[in-house]
Structure 1
Amino acid sequence: MTPGEITARLADPAALARIGQIRPNDAETAAERLTPAAVLVPIVLHAAPTILLTLRAAKMSSHAGQVSFPGGRIEAGETPEAAAVREAAEEVGLDPRLPELLGRLPDHHTGTGFHITPVVALVPPPLNLVPDPREVEEPFELPLSVVLDPGAPERRRAEWKGHMREFWVWPHERHYIWGATAAILVNLAKVLRGA
């Protein structure tokens, strides 16, 4: 998929409308006040494009050791785009001049109380990343070809807080990609595939 095709798909309001918004069906979450957050969904423009992800540091207070996009809370007066770019610079040292912002995917509400706005960007290599060890154990890349493969993600079930939950999992040889990150990847895949 070329950068032009990626840009065109993310600019198509019909494609975005088809995927809608993902929310957990959880009465607890509806009763909680959600914390606004933004993540950068960086598509790295190698000859074979990839998605930049991070393995969160094991000592983090929340979501420790999980795979995520660079991102975090939106500060007062900040747009989701500004927050996503700032957080990517803080977490992995991504030069804030590199991302070419393309648009947003539908917001995602998590069962842990976050209202996440995913901001998609094209990023030219080389990245020259310097992760903050307090937040990121390892940045890594997932081939876009995996994301575009409709057979790649799996739907799984597990008990969480006394309720059975369904969630997506993406294949990777070293990391378990699930939860909000996996759901956002599912939305990205639907938009880019046009289905």
Structure 2
Amino acid sequence: MDLDELRARLAQRDGTVPALLGDALAAPANSDDIADLAQRILVPAAVLVPIIHGPNPGILLTKRTSTLSSHAGQVAFPGGRLDPGETPLEAALREAEEEVGLPANLVEVTGRLPDYVTGTGFSISPIIGLLAPGFVPIPAAAEVEEVFELPLSVLLDPSAPERRRAEWKGRKREFWVWPHERHYIWGATAAILVHLAHRLRVAATV
């Protein structure tokens, strides 16, 4: 997949959600699955979904430090809560610079994915951006333990994401997990990656 085709497939669409198996820990904000999740006032947040293009394309991800108050130690996209008056795009770019040292002028914003509601009370707006190879991340020690990549080849493999079951809040729930040799990619991050993978696999003209 060359850069032009990647841009075409990532371009802004109408926000409709494909008919994919859901995730009991995070769900698209416009789906019926949020009834069991959105039982409180939701906190607006945004994440940047950085796709590094080039000879060995991949998705840039972070592992959060174990000392954070929410989602400690989990794999996540750079992102966080919206500041007062911020748009999701502004918040995603600001958080990416704060967390991994990624300047906004290096990000080619190409679109977004449907908002996601999490069981921890956030409404997340995923912003998709292309990033040229060669960027050297500078993790913010207080928030990010590690920065790594999930190869795009894994994302494009329909058999890669797995369905797992676990007890959460007193119920057995199913959720997505993406394979990685060192990290456990699950929760909202995994669910967002499932929809990103779907967009990249469909024809650019759809």
Aligned-pair CA distance for 1:85: 0.7
Distance in 2 separating the partners of 1:144 and 1:173? 15
Aligned-pair CA distance for 1:66: 0.4
Name the counterpart of 2:22. none
Name the counterpart of 2:164. 156
- If the length of structure 2 is used for normalisation, what is the TM-score? 0.88
The yes-or-no answer on 1:13 pairing with 2:19 is no
Distance in 2 separating the partners of 1:79 and 1:138? 27
Aligned-pair CA distance for 1:29: 2.9
RMSD of aligned alpha carbons: 1.8
**Equivalent of residue 108 in structure 1, options 113, 116, 122:** 116
Indicate the percent of aligned positions where both proteins have the same amino acid.
Answer: 61
The yes-or-no answer on 1:64 pairing with 2:63 is no
Amino acid in the other structure paired with 2:137: L
8 A Cα contact 1:42 1:51, kept in partner: yes
Name the counterpart of 1:42. 50
Aligned-pair CA distance for 1:18: 4.7
Amino acid in the other structure paired with 1:148: L
Aligned-pair CA distance for 1:115: 0.3
Instruction: Specify every segment of 5 or more residues in structure 2 that has no aligned partner in the other structure, as ranges.
Output: 20-26
Aligned-pair CA distance for 1:127: 1.0
- If the length of structure 1 is used for normalisation, what is the TM-score? 0.93
How many residues are treated as equivalent by the alignment? Answer: 194
Aligned-pair CA distance for 1:22: 2.2
The yes-or-no answer on 1:93 pairing with 2:101 is yes
Relative to structure 1, is the Cα distance of residues 22 and 126 closer, same or farther in structure 2, using a 3 angstrom cutoff? same
Cα-to-partner distance string for 1:72-119 (whole Å, 9 max, x where unaligned) = 001111111111010000001112210000111011100100000000
Relative to structure 1, is the Cα distance of residues 98 and 29 closer, same or farther in structure 2, using a 3 angstrom cutoff? same
Distance in 1 separating the partners of 2:71 and 2:141? 15
8 A Cα contact 1:72 1:83, kept in partner: yes
8 A Cα contact 1:3 1:122, kept in partner: no
Cα-to-partner distance string for 1:26-53 (whole Å, 9 max, x where unaligned) = 6453331110000000001131211000
Distance in 2 separating the partners of 1:169 and 1:9? 23
Distance in 2 separating the partners of 1:26 and 1:121? 26
8 A Cα contact 1:68 1:181, kept in partner: yes
**Equivalent of residue 133 in structure 2, options 115, 120, 125:** 125
